[in-house]
Amino acid sequence: MSTDVRIEDLLRELAPQVLGIVVRRHGQFDLCEDAVQDALLAAAMQWPAQGVPSNPRGWLLTVASRRLADEHRSEQARRRREAAAAALVPADESVAPAPGEEHAPDQDDTLTLLFLCCHPALSPASQVALTLRAVGGLTTAQIASAFLVPEPTMAQRISRAKQSIRASGTPLRIPPQPELAARLRVVLHVLYLIFNEGYTASSGADLQRGDLTREAIRLTRAVRRLLPDDGEVAGLLALMLLTDARRAARSRADGAVVPLEEQDRGRWDPAAIDEGVAIVTDALARAPLGPYQVQAAIAAVHSEAARTEDTDWPQILALYRLLARLSPNPMVTLNEAVALAMVEGPRAGLDLLTTLDADQRVAGHHRLDAVRAHLLEMLGDRARARSSYQRAARRTTSLPERRYLESRAARLKTSTPPRGRPPDSCQSK
């Protein structure tokens, strides 16, 4: 691993720790977050050349605290001198703890910050952006690039989110019961959204964004360290590991999508699979059942099949039906239709899909068209299958998915009906 990568990983680990300490000492989340981002940027520029200081967290605390002090001064020249001084902090210098906070540097604020960034007053898009910036340590430019929006647009989104947090007056603390459980669900959903965007990018030229999937897994691991007995936290981490284990096999060297039934399962990551299976097995044995655990169990069943034809589809169908009871939504129904088709035949799957045609949450979504096309192809109705593939291709904003769907439509003239399931990227994660 290169020095730059090690430093980037260290900064992402330290970001929530430093921000939590600074917010607890100074308040004003928005100003503190800006100051910490400046400190992270200074470290990213200086440490590769000068070396990582012996007390990296103290270095970041000093730079961030001086940046805050600088903000309180009105004279621009004075601010420049303070910023220059902050950039020259000795490697072992750190900020003394505030009265009553002698043990604060050892406190892990990751979960507290996640709760703050996932405040219910924020939109889901703002929750994701603020989480990546404040807890993940990504810059505004990196987040904008990940979601394919101009940097000024993302900067405004993050700024509005921080202003909303400030206006809410929410202190930096774990929410009280019974708010805790509801807010934890939001935190896990935001991490799930970040992972999904990385696993199958919603738009652009790349099928996957490894930086986002890695960050989602890292943050979920952090939450699990703080809540080791929560079954849904464990389930989400297991789901991410088992899903991400397929990453290397999901696309070819030219970026083309490889559907699940055609993937070289020898390229799946066995260490990630073993860890994911162990985590979900333990969670299912001792924690109340939840949707993330069921999804992880489905992913585990897929991982246990050495070949596509060895997949235990009846078990997967039973798990999707259980998931539909725990967390009914159209994407679950979409995947249940696939499993049903593999167990009872494509006509049964197509009949279930018709229940989604009037559901505005998914009607018009390319995934519904893609799954219907695949089941029609299994049925042997090539004309309708080709039309559905073409419609799905027009509706997706992901270039690799569009090319895959167009290729499926084009080869219907000569190919035989498929035996497998839709492409990995056409399913909910």
**Predicted local distance difference test score (pLDDT) of residue 424:** 59
Lowest-confidence segment of 40-54, 102-116, 152-166, 168-182 by average pLDDT: 102-116
Q: Is residue 153 part of a domain?
A: no
Higher pLDDT, 189 or 417: 189
Please check whether residue 246 is in contact with residue 392, taking contact to mean a CB–CB distance below 8 angstroms: no
pLDDT digits (tens, 9 = 90+) for 104-131: 444 567 788 888 888 888 888 889 898 8
10 pLDDT higher than 70: yes
pLDDT at 80: 55
On whether the pTM is more than 0.95, the answer is no
Q: Is the pLDDT of residue 101 over 60?
A: no
For residue 145, what pLDDT band results from cuts at 50, 70 and 90? confident
**DSSP-H helix ranges across 170-306:** 179-199, 210-226, 231-244, 270-286, 291-304
User: What total of structural domains would you count in the chain?
Assistant: 2
Establish if 211 belongs to a structural domain.
no
Check whether 415 has a pLDDT greater than 70: no
Residue 100's pLDDT is what?
39
Residue 230 banded pLDDT, cuts 50, 70, 90: very high
322 to 227, 315, 319, 325: CA distances (angstroms): 25, 11, 5, 5
Quick one: pLDDT band at residue 421, thresholds 50, 70, 90? low
Question: What gap in Å lies between CA 159 and CA 100, rounded to an integer?
Answer: 31
Q: How far does CA 357 lie from the centroid of its chain?
A: 28
Residue 140 burial by CB count (10 A; 0-12/13-18/19+): exposed, middle or buried? buried
Contact 79, 70 (CB under 8 A): yes
In a domain, 75, yes or no: yes
Q: Specify if 363 maps to a domain.
A: yes
- Residue 212 within any structural domain of the chain: no
| 384: CATH | 1.25.40.10
d(CA 380, CA 386): 11
Vertex 392 angle, CA 388 and 398, to 5°? 160
Q: CA nearest 344: which of 369, 366, 318? A: 318
pLDDT of residue 209 exceeding 80, the answer is: yes
Q: What is the pLDDT of residue 353?
A: 96
The amino acid at residue 386 is R
Quick one: pLDDT at residue 26?
A: 79
Q: Tell me the C-alpha to C-alpha distance, in Å, between residue 394 and each of 13, 89, 404, 427.
A: 41, 55, 12, 18
pLDDT at res. 163: 86
Handedness of CA 345, 348, 350, 353 (dihedral sign): negative
Q: Which residue has the tokens 């405004």?
A: 156
Tell me whether residue 41 is in a domain: yes
Give me the helices (H) in 72-209, please: 76-87, 110-117, 124-130, 140-146, 151-168, 179-199
For position 108, what pLDDT does the model report?
62
The pLDDT-based confidence of 315 (bands split at 50, 70, 90) is very high
Percentage of the chain surpassing pLDDT 70? 86
pLDDT score, position 105: 44
- Closest among 180, 184, 315, 192 to 243, alpha carbons compared: 192
Give domain status of residue 253, yes or no.
no
Using CA atoms in the order 342, 348, 351, 356, what is the torsion angle rounded to 10 degrees?
Answer: -30
Both tokens of 37, joined, read 């981002």
Identify whether 42 is part of a domain.
yes
pLDDT of the residue at 181: 81
Closest-CA residue to 38 (of 140, 131, 106, 157)? 140
Q: Which two tokens stand for residue 285?
A: 């044995």
In sequence order, which residues have a C-beta less than 8 Å from that of residue 392 and are 6 or more positions away?
366, 367, 369, 370, 373, 405
* Highest mean pLDDT (candidates 36-45, 69-78, 299-308): 299-308
Find the domain containing 66 and state its range: 3-97
